[in-house]
Structure 1
Amino acid sequence: MTTVVAQGTFDILHPGHVHYLEEAAGMGEELHVIVARRENVTHKEQPILSNRQRRDMVAALEAVDEARVGHPEDFFVPIREIDPDVIALGFDQHHDEEQLAGALADAGLDCRVERASGREEVRDDELLSTGKIIDRVCTERCD
Structure 2
Amino acid sequence: MRRVVAQGTFDLIHPGHVHYLEDAAAMGDELHVIVARRENVTHKDPPILPNRQRRDVVAALDAVDHARVGHPTDIFAPIEEIEPAVIALGYDQHHDADAIEAELAERGVDCEVRRASPREQQYEGELLSTGTIVDRILEQRG
Superposition TM-score tier, normalisation by shorter sequence = over 0.9
Residues 41-73 of structure 1: per-residue CA shift (max 9 Å, x gap):
000000000000000000000000000000000
- Where 2:131 maps in the other structure, the secondary structure is helix
- Structure 1: which amino acid aligns with 2:24? A
Identity value in percent: 68
Distance of 1:21 and 1:8 partners within structure 2: 10
Other-structure match for 2:54:
54
- After superposition, residues 15-94 of structure 1 pair within 5 angstroms as 15-94=15-94
Residues 97-123 of structure 1: per-residue CA shift (max 9 Å, x gap):
111111111111110000001100011
> How many residues align structurally?
142
Other-structure match for 1:9:
9
Runs (4+) of structure 1 exceeding 4 A deviation are none
**How high is the TM-score relative to the length of structure 1?**
0.98
Distance of 2:38 and 2:124 partners within structure 1: 31
- 2:130 maps to 1:130: yes
Distance of 1:103 and 1:92 partners within structure 2: 20
Q: Which residues of structure 1 form unaligned runs of 5+?
A: none
- Structure 1: which amino acid aligns with 2:127? L
Residues 5-46 of structure 1: per-residue CA shift (max 9 Å, x gap):
000000000000000000000000000000000000000000
- Structure 1: which amino acid aligns with 2:47? P
- Where 2:98 maps in the other structure, the secondary structure is helix
